[in-house]
Structure formats: C-alpha cells, structure tokens
Amino acid sequence: MSKTIFILNGPNLNLLGKRQPEIYGADTLDDVETRCRALATSLGFQIELFQSNHEGVIIDTIQRAREEAAAIVINPGAFTHTSVAILDALNAYDGLVFECHISNVHKRESFRHHSFVSGRADGVMAGFGVEGYELCVRRACSLLSK
Ligand code: CA2
C-alpha cells in the first residue's frame, strides 16, 4: 500500500499568510507543508502538497492520486461550494479523503455552508486554522496504520 498522502489546495490558497491574516492566519502554505511533512515522516508516511487555481488541474491531481496516494487531504477553497466535477473525481478515488477548511465555514456567509465534497469525505475539519491540515494528516496516518 502507498505511504503517500496528497494535500491538495484550491484557488487563492497560494496567498495564505500574505493576505487576510484575520481570517486565514499568518502561516504560509510552505509552513503548512513543512509541518505536515515533519509529522507524516515521524509517523512513517510521506506527503506531497499541491496548490492550483484551476479546477481541471485539481481534478487531474485527484486522478493521479488513484495510483500514487493512500489518502487525500483537500481544501478545495471556493470550489468546495461549487464543484460537482471535484466531487465526481473524489468519488472515483478509492482511498481516504479528508476535507480541511482553515476557517469555520459555518460561521461565515450562508453560501459557504454547503460543501459538495463533505458527502464523500471520511472526515471534515473546519475552523482549526492551518493546524487542521496536521490533524487530518494525523488521522489519515492513524487509519492507514491499522
Ligand atoms: O476556510 C477555508 O479554508 C476555505 O476553504 C477558504 C476558501 C473559501 O472560499 C472557503 O469558503 C473556505 C478561500 C481560500 C482563499 O484563501 C486565501 C488565503 C489568504 C488570503 C486570501 C485568500
């Protein structure tokens, strides 16, 4: 079984730590990658972190995960609330899926309350800041080690 976990990030998450720190915090995506990699390595796994502003690229990466990753941690960004295509790609993936939102989407505008991804996810994280990514990686490693 693959020991790789893909961490996928959708549109605008390349701006993490650079804009709107009051909502998304001061850590960058590079910081998230460093911490998730250290955690995964300590638990005997490896991570690959991706970010794209393009829906098709995210779908291509989910399809690649079918061959290369035992779990996906995904923050689809705004595509969470719009993309049936990302849901279809995740439904074609057999491994574990964790949905991770930095902010508590349920405390925000009503259009952020619905997620197309949640119905496929094995777990959903929202409002734990960027620590949520590490919690998802920890859970994935725990389930994959059983
Ligand atoms: O809370 C989350 O993680 C979100 O997935 C973030 C998305 C938003 O559309 C979702 O409703 C909730 C937005 C990502 C934008 O990321 C930025 C980060 C820093 C500065 C500006 C945008």
User: What predicted TM-score, i.e. pTM, was given to this entire model?
Assistant: 0.98
* pLDDT per residue as tens digits for the range 62-79: 999 999 999 999 999 999
Answer yes or no: 93 catalytic: no
The chain-wide mean pLDDT, for the chain, equals 98
Catalytic member of 93, 101, 114, 133: 101
CA 116 to CA 80: how far, in whole Å? 6
Identify whether the C-beta of residue 76 lies closer than 8 Å to the C-beta of residue 117.
yes
Percent of the chain surpassing pLDDT 90: 99
The answer to whether residues 121 and 134 touch, using CB atoms and an 8 Å cutoff, is: no
Q: Which domains does the chain have, with CATH numbers?
A: 14-76+96-145 (3.40.50.9100)
Q: Is 51 in the pocket of ligand 1 (CB under 6 A)?
A: no
